[in-house]
Amino acid sequence: MRSADLEEFRGFAEDRLPHLRRTAYLMCGDWHHAEDITQTALTKLYAVWGRRHRIANVEAYAHRVLTRTCIDHTRRRWRREDPTPTLPDRPGPGTDPSLGLQVRAALAALPPRQRAVVVLRFWADLDIADTAKALGCTAGTVKSHTARALTKLRTLLGDTDPFDELAVAPTPLKEML
């Protein structure tokens, strides 16, 4: 790879790394796995970076690679670790993480494809067409996965339903997570 291409990739990766890592975290529910998934996705993106001019939207392609890597990662059960009963991290003073924890637990209860649809639609702010392209499916599949996922999330969250306003503005999900 030419040095100019390498520098351009490095700039893209540094700029998008926090967003991609957060997206991966929302899809898999574990920071360590999210870091692994993000690094694997960036490695795959690096392998095709020389041909990026053939890709219409590099950002959407990066989301697609990340999503597929996450789904592939969830299929590999032998890589999973057993969680510990105590959490080492503590929330900062004055923060109330209960709603964010409830939403993340509800996201974790969704099947991987439905979780990916919710994260891409409401966290990454992708429209139906871009989400379908990232997942390699039709717009109708995205719509049905979204409907099923939101129904299940409403059931799991009960009275603390933060998803009523998502159809109008997706930012509440970002603020909760």
Domain containing residue 175: CATH number: 1.10.10.10
Residues in the chain: 177
Helix/strand/coil for 15: helix
Residue 85 located in a structural domain: no
| Chain mean position to CA 110 | 13
Please give the share of the chain, as a percent, with pLDDT higher than 70: 77
Same domain for 124 and 74: no
Residue 90 located in a structural domain: no
User: What would the two tokens of residue 37 be?
Assistant: 């998934």
Name the domain boundary from 46, 79, 112.
Answer: 79
- Look at the chain and report how many structural domains it folds into: 2
Residue 148 located in a structural domain: yes
Same domain for 50 and 3: yes
The CATH number linked to 53 is: 1.10.1740
Same domain for 103 and 60: no
Residues 6 or more apart in contact with residue 13 via CB below 8 angstroms: 42, 45, 46
For residue range 134-164, what is the model confidence (pLDDT) as tens digits?
Answer: 889 999 999 999 999 999 988 888 755 454 4
**pLDDT at position 99:** 73
Residue 47 located in a structural domain: yes
- For residue 8, the enclosing domain spans 1-79
Global confidence as pTM:
0.48
Residue 147 located in a structural domain: yes
Which alpha helices (DSSP H) does 76-177 contain, by range?
98-108, 112-118, 128-135, 139-157, 171-176
Average of per-residue pLDDT values in the chain: 79
For residue range 93-129, what is the model confidence (pLDDT) as tens digits?
Answer: 555 567 778 888 888 899 999 999 999 998 888 889 9
